[in-house]
């Protein structure tokens, strides 16, 4: 009986903070997926064009789903659970998939920034003044520097130990002489990524005030882009947890906080970066709501569209050549005009208890 009960229970490797990691990562991935679908709809049916910022965002989404799926494998193998509750093969497997996922994550955070940079360059347009040219080059510098640091950090992770597998399986023969170097570069890479998020969030203030667009659009775009500060906060918290992991022996459990904030940073960059390009869709939706409210108010006041008004008109026509008795009714003997009677009946659906009105012309 006890054997049957233990067989029906979930594996002991899955537990601790593992369910929290899965819930947070996939919830954020779902929001990002929905926004990308909305962005695709906007580009197809409203904007009717695709630019580089969309393709970078799409790459970020694909990479993000891949590294989240890898993270799920790591969690089901024991990541997020206490190390003393795991068997050695589970520890090795969870650590291996965790580091593979983090290597992809580092590049995904970079592509998310490239999408934002491409959007800012598209909004800015071709630079005409020295200031705008300088700002455009500054954006390129942020993108290129993040790319170099991300590649360097991934390379250092994979070469910290010899053989590479010793990085997640310390029982293997070999050496790990460069872990401290990897940690130091990781601090710098994460710190520069945080600073980049802050700079990209504040960049629109320097650029949009010089563009010939309405003030409410400028303010709206600046507020949407300022959301990147949240991604910077997530990145800063992640950087702090890098140090805490190195001093904690329960690595599979203590790394959970780093994982949650790292994946949150990744998805926030994509989520918040997708809001400004969705402005045409938001504007269309707001206009639709305004039209709907306007029609509702008109109906409540007793007004209807022309198609809702049953109008009965008695056709009029000019009489043929007048007779002697009618010859002098109109100046110049042009003939007589037959009276036209027009009856307009109000629509009960719009006017409620209003009585029918008759208008004689």
The secondary structure of 210-233 as a DSSP string is: TSSS-HHHHHHHHHHHTTHHHHHH
Q: What is the pLDDT of residues 91-118, one digit of tens each?
A: 999 999 999 999 999 999 999 999 999 9
Token pair recorded at residue 86: 């795991």
Q: What value, to the nearest 5°, has the Cα angle with vertex 189 and ends 17 and 20?
A: 10
**Residue 354 DSSP class:** P
d(CA 165, CA 172): 8
CB burial of 28-45 (b: ≥16 within 10 Å; e: otherwise) equals bbeebeebbebbeebbee
Q: 3-class SS at 119?
A: helix
Q: Does 282 lie in the same domain as 341? A: no
In a domain, 316, yes or no: yes
Q: Are residues 276 and 332 in the same domain?
A: no
pLDDT of residue 150: 94
234 plus 331 within the same structural domain: no
Is position 294 within any domain? no
In a domain, 20, yes or no: yes
- Give the end of a domain, one of 228, 259, 288: 288
Structural domain includes residue 314: yes
Question: Residue 293 falls within a domain, yes or no?
Answer: no
d(CA 199, CA 208): 14
Structural domain total, the chain: 2
Do 333 and 230 have their domain in common? no
Task: Determine the Cα–Cα distance for residues 134 and 178; give it in Å rounded to an integer.
Answer: 38
Q: Please check whether residues 139 and 206 belong to one and the same domain.
A: yes
How is residue 7 written in tokens?
Answer: 């067989």
Q: What is the pLDDT of residue 207?
A: 74
User: CATH number of the domain that 137 lies in?
Assistant: 1.20.1070
Residues of the chain with pLDDT under 70: 1-11, 126-128, 208-213, 246-248, 298, 300-361
H or E stretch at 360? strand 359-360
Q: Is the domain of 221 the same as that of 109?
A: yes
232 and 335 in a single domain? The answer is: no
273 and 346, same domain (yes or no): no
Tell me which of 254, 288, 322 is where a domain ends: 288
The pTM of the full predicted model, rounded to 2 decimals, is 0.76
Same domain, 108 and 60: yes
**pLDDT value of position 322:** 45
pLDDT at 132: 79
DSSP 46: I
Buried b (16+ CB within 10 A) or exposed e, 194-214: bebbbebbebbeebbeeeeee
Full domain range(s) for residue 188:
10-288
Does residue 263 share a domain with residue 332?
no
pLDDT at residue 1 in the model: 41
Give the phi and the psi of residue 162 in degrees, each rounded to 5: -130, 115
Query: Which residue matches tokens 């491409």?
Result: 118
Quick check: is 58 in a domain? Answer: yes
Note whether 240 and 311 are same-domain residues. Answer: no
The answer to the question of residue 131 being in a domain is yes
Residue at which a domain ends, from 260, 288, 316 = 288
In a domain, 280, yes or no: yes
125 and 186 housed in the same domain: yes
């Amino acid at each position: 009986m006890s054997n049957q009960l233990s067989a029906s229970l979930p594996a002991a490797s899955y537990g601790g903070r593992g369910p929290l990691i899965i819930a947070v990562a996939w919830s954020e991935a779902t929001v990002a997926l929905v926004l990308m679908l909305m962005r695709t709809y906007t580009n197809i049916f409203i904007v009717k064009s695709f630019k580089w910022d969309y393709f970078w965002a799409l790459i970020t989404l694909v990479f993000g789903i891949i590294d989240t799926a890898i993270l799920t494998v790591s969690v089901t193998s024991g990541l997020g659970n206490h190390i003393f509750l795991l068997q050695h093969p589970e520890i090795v497997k969870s650590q291996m998939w965790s580091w593979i996922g983090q290597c992809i994550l580092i590049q995904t955070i970079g592509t998310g920034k490239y999408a934002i940079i491409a959007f800012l360059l598209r909004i800015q347009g071709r630079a005409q003044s020295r200031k705008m040219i300088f700002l455009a080059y500054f954006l390129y510098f942020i993108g290129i520097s993040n790319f170099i640091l991300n590649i360097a950090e991934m390379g250092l992770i994979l070469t910290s130990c010899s053989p590479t597998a010793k990085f997640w399986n310390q029982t293997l023969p070999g050496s790990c002489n460069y872990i401290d170097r990897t940690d130091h570069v990781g601090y710098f890479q994460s710190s520069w990524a945080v600073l980049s998020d802050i700079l990209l969030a504040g960049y629109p203030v320097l650029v949009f005030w010089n563009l010939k667009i309405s003030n409410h659009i400028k303010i709206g775009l600046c507020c949407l882009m300022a959301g990147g500060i949240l991604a910077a906060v997530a990145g800063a918290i992640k950087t702090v947890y890098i140090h805490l992991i190195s001093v904690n022996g329960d690595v599979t459990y203590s790394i959970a906080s780093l994982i949650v904030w790292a994946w949150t940073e990744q998805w926030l960059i994509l989520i918040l970066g997708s809001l400004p390009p969705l402005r045409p869709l938001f504007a269309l939706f707001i206009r639709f709501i305004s039209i709907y409210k306007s029609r509702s108010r008109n109906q409540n006041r007793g007004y209807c569209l022309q198609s809702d008004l049953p109008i009965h008109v008695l056709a009029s026509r000019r009489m043929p050549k007048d007779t002697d008795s009618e010859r002098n009714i109109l100046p110049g003997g042009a003939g007589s005009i037959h009276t036209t009677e027009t009856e307009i009946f109000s629509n009960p659906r719009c006017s409620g208890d209003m009585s029918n009105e008759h208008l004689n012309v």
